[in-house]
Each structure stands twice: as structure tokens, then as C-alpha cells.
Amino acid sequence: MKRDIPAMNTNELTRSVTETRRTEDASDRIAPQRKPSKVITFMGAKGGVGTTTVALNTAAVLARRSNVIVVEVRPTFGTLSLYFNAPTRTLTIAHLLEMESTAINTMEAEACLWSYESIPGLWFLFGPRTMEQCREIRPDHVKALLAALAKLADYVIVDIPTSLGEANRAVIEGSCQLALVVERDATCVQSAKLILLSIGVWNPALQVAGAVIVNRAALATPIPIPKIEAELGVPTLRVIPPASDLCNAAQNAGSPVVAFDPESLVAGSLAALAERLASAPARLRSASNRMPMADPLEPANISAKILVRASERVPREMVSQYLFKCRNNLPALKAALAGYEYEFARSFGHQMKGTGGAYGFKQLTEVGALIERAATDQNIDELGNQVAALEEYLGRVEVAFDESPASGKR
């Protein structure tokens, strides 16, 4: 039976429309329109190069000032849930892959996210945790998943395995940037070259943002950075120094390296990588508009400062003089690099290794040791990388002195 709908007079209609507009305006103020999210994907040129570590720490840096989601788009087991010892009840990507792609939305995706409490802006969508959760991922699921996550965060960091399958293709084509993680050995470089050629076959307009060069272990004859760039035809986004012991310690603590030891050399390199990716164009570049490759010996133009608290045991005048001396001696070290004067560089690094920490500059001690080792081995490429790292650090570091009455001015 039909019911008669009571008529609404003009005054009631006006009040109703006005109230609706007020509600909509309030909603807009509470949840303003988010700027377009940036999807950044990391893939290793081969397995075991540390891609997940690079992706995790890039996300941790970006999360200092933005909302960031890290997602493991993997058909088999993810590793980040083990890294953080997340509760077993935490939902994974498998929950979303079980449903039809059209049913994947922000509400369903958000229900699967796990937050890292130490960094409030950092969230994770873990890969499969059990054999039953492992399955092939369809491209339509990938597209729906990225679309949903992009509405929830400023950055979506995607960790994918080394594969040229359809799921990875969907991830890459749906990303703003793709960073290829490469070790400095011939096998890995050739694998990276084949991957890039395959991506070009998929879509000639797509161009990888660049390569992240990792040094997981000291190699007897590492391939020079310029040769890697020439082979791959893409710029080097960042060279990450070796730090296996520190990475293991951070993992045991369930913390990203950049949070576990933010003043370490590797943390500085990962932070610079994150800043470079954040400031890059928001879409993959076409091959016709490829930007010129950066000189690997020129540090990235990073505006972020590194704040170091001075040691209370050393007078501030001595701290300032020490930092001034390090900066003043840098041209001599660069001249030694250009002239292959290994003994000068070795002595320079040895002295910095022994003095940096005493003045509160732990990172100078680390890079000094690496300069000394590279010079001793007469490894000109590695020496160049460390001199560049030193130059960048000295250009960004600032000293904070304790001004409290208890400490007094010295």
C-alpha cells in the first residue's frame, strides 16, 4: 500500500537545504581534499640485494612529515611482518586478494593496515604470512589496491619481487616512480639491464627513475658507478654504503635503520634517497624527455639539515674549529682523489676516524674509516663515493649547543 508523503512547505525546504549545506561544508573542513598520492615502487635487479630494507627506510624518512603506506605486493611470503614481529591476527594483502577487485575500497584496505607506533605516519600492508595466503596476483587486483591505498596516504611505497610477471607490470605502470636496486657485480648489473629492456618493450614511454646502488658486502672489483650508469642508461639515485652489522642490529630491535641510528652514514644516505624521490616529478618520465644523468661524485641537492648535538666534554669553540677544519681540508682530499694520491687519502681518513666521534660527529668517524679502507685497497671508485658522502655531510651538518644554565657557556 502506498503511503502519502506529507508536503513540505517552503520554509521547511529552505531550512533543510541550508542545514545540508552546513553539514557538507563542515565535512569539507574536517577532511580537506588530499593532494594526489605518490606511488613509488622498489624492485631488486635480483633477489637478496636489500630491496625491502631500502623501501622500508625510504618510507620511514618520508613518514616524518607525511602519511606513508608500505605494501608488499608479493605472491609468496612477505618479510616485514617478521621484521616488526606484528601480531598474527593482523590482516595481510591476502584478505584483499580473496575478494573481487571491484570490492576493494579504502575501507577494506584501511582495515588491513598495521601502524608502526614509533613513527605515527607509517603504516604497513604486509605480504602473505602463511602458505594458505600465498597466491598469484591478478593485474586488476593490483590496480584496485593501488587506487584504494592512494586515497589513504601521501605516499605509497611498493615493495615487489624480482619478476616480469603481469602483477609487477601492473604495479610499475601504476607507479609514479620505479627505483631499481642494484649491486655492483656483473651479474646484477646485467640482470638490471634485461629488466629495463623488458620494461621498454612493455611501454616505450616508461622510463625508470633511476638505480639505487647498494654495497651489501665489500667486493674485490666492484663495477665503477659511471660504467653502471652507461650500461643501464639511467641515473644513480643514491649509493648506499655497506652497513650489515647496523642493519642486523636495527632488525633485531624491530626498527628501521634511519630511526635506530639516524646519525649513521647509511641512515644519511637513505634519507637523501628519500628526499630525492620526494622532490622528483610525480610521473614516470618518457624516454624522449629523459633528464641528463647526474655525476655520481656530485652530492644530491638536499636542503634538509643534519643536526648534531655537541659533546658536553668539549668546549664549543673547539667543536666549531674542528668542523671548520674538516670543511677547509675537503678540497685537498678531492685533489688527492683526482691525483690518485692514496696515501694522503688514507692518512686523512685515519685521522678523521680517530677524531670525529670525540667531537660528537659519529658520522665523520664512520666515513673516515671507509675512506681509509678504500684508500688502503686503492679502490678509486669507492673512494670517490665516500668523498662525495663526506662532502654532502659537511654541507648539511649543523651543531646544536646546550644553552641550559646547568651546562653553562664554554
Residues linked to residue 122 through DSSP beta bridges, in sequence order: 68
Run of H or E including 329: helix 316-338
- Using a 10 angstrom Cβ sphere, with 0-12 exposed, 13-18 middle and 19 or more buried, the burial of residue 21 is exposed
Is the pLDDT assigned to residue 327 strictly greater than 80?
Answer: yes
In this structure, the answer to whether residues 317 and 388 fall within a common structural domain is: yes
- Whether 28 is covered by a domain: the verdict is no
Contact call for residues 387 and 337 (beta carbons, < 8 A): yes
Residue 241 pLDDT level (bands cut at 50, 70, 90): confident
Number of other CB atoms surrounding residue 350 within 10 Å: 17
Q: Which three cell numbers stand for residue 330?
A: 675537503
Q: Which domain holds residue 323?
A: 306-400
In this structure, the answer to whether residues 134 and 219 fall within a common structural domain is: yes
Whole-number percent of the chain with pLDDT over 70: 81
* Helix, strand, coil percentages in the chain from 3-state DSSP, rounded to 5: 50, 10, 40
Per residue in 378-406, pLDDT tens? 888 788 888 888 988 888 888 877 655 44
Q: Could you give the number of structural domains in the chain?
A: 2
Write the CATH number for 194.
Answer: 3.40.50.300
- Whether 407 is covered by a domain: the verdict is no
Highest-scoring range by mean pLDDT, 72-81, 265-274, 321-330, 393-402: 72-81
Per residue in 270-284, pLDDT tens? 999 999 999 876 555
> How many contiguous H segments (helices) and E segments (strands) does the chain have?
16, 10
- Whether 1 is covered by a domain: the verdict is no
In this structure, the answer to whether residues 152 and 248 fall within a common structural domain is: yes
**Could you give the CA distance from residue 13 to residue 15 in angstroms, rounded to a whole number?**
5
In this structure, the answer to whether residues 312 and 268 fall within a common structural domain is: no
Question: Which pLDDT score is estimated for 109?
Answer: 95
In this structure, the answer to whether residues 46 and 194 fall within a common structural domain is: yes
Q: What is the DSSP string of 174-208?
A: T-SEEEEEEESSHHHHHHHHHHHHHHHHH-TT---
In this structure, the answer to whether residues 260 and 323 fall within a common structural domain is: no
In this structure, the answer to whether residues 311 and 270 fall within a common structural domain is: no
- Whether 365 is covered by a domain: the verdict is yes
Is the pLDDT assigned to residue 186 strictly greater than 80?
Answer: yes
- Whether 146 is covered by a domain: the verdict is yes
Torsion angles phi and psi, residue 279, rounded to 5: -90, -5
Q: Which three cell numbers stand for residue 211?
A: 638505480
Per residue in 136-172, pLDDT tens? 999 999 999 999 999 999 999 999 999 999 999 999 9
In this structure, the answer to whether residues 215 and 169 fall within a common structural domain is: yes
Contact call for residues 361 and 308 (beta carbons, < 8 A): yes
Which of 43-47, 75-79, 225-229, 257-261 has the lowest average pLDDT? 225-229
In the three-class reduction of DSSP (H, G, I as helix; E, B as strand; rest coil), residue 44 is classed as strand
pTM of the model: 0.68
Write the CATH number for 335.
Answer: 1.20.120
Least Cα distance to 259 among 46, 9, 57, 13 occurs for 57
In this structure, the answer to whether residues 174 and 134 fall within a common structural domain is: yes
Is the pLDDT assigned to residue 336 strictly greater than 60?
Answer: yes
Per residue in 205-219, pLDDT tens? 776 889 999 987 666
Residue with the larger pLDDT of the pair 409 and 236: 236
Question: Which pLDDT score is estimated for 220?
Answer: 66
- Whether 5 is covered by a domain: the verdict is no
In this structure, the answer to whether residues 59 and 193 fall within a common structural domain is: yes
Residue with the larger pLDDT of the pair 334 and 123: 123
In this structure, the answer to whether residues 279 and 159 fall within a common structural domain is: yes
* Angle, CA 118 vertex, CA 115 and CA 124 arms, to 5°: 25
Per residue in 29-41, pLDDT tens? 333 445 678 999 9
In this structure, the answer to whether residues 109 and 256 fall within a common structural domain is: yes
- Whether 6 is covered by a domain: the verdict is no
* Angle, CA 103 vertex, CA 102 and CA 109 arms, to 5°: 120
Least Cα distance to 214 among 237, 196, 241, 186 occurs for 241
Whole-number percent of the chain with pLDDT over 90: 47
Helix residue spans in 212-292 (DSSP H): 225-232, 244-252, 257-260, 265-279
In the three-class reduction of DSSP (H, G, I as helix; E, B as strand; rest coil), residue 33 is classed as coil
Is the pLDDT assigned to residue 203 strictly greater than 80?
Answer: no
Q: What is the DSSP string of 114-177?
A: EE-TTSTTEEEE----SGGG-----HHHHHHHHHHHHTT-SEEEEEE-S--SHHHHHHHHT-SE
Question: Which pLDDT score is estimated for 18?
Answer: 46
Instruction: Using DSSP bridges, classify how beta strands 306-309 and 397-400 pair: parallel, antiparallel or unpaired.
Output: parallel
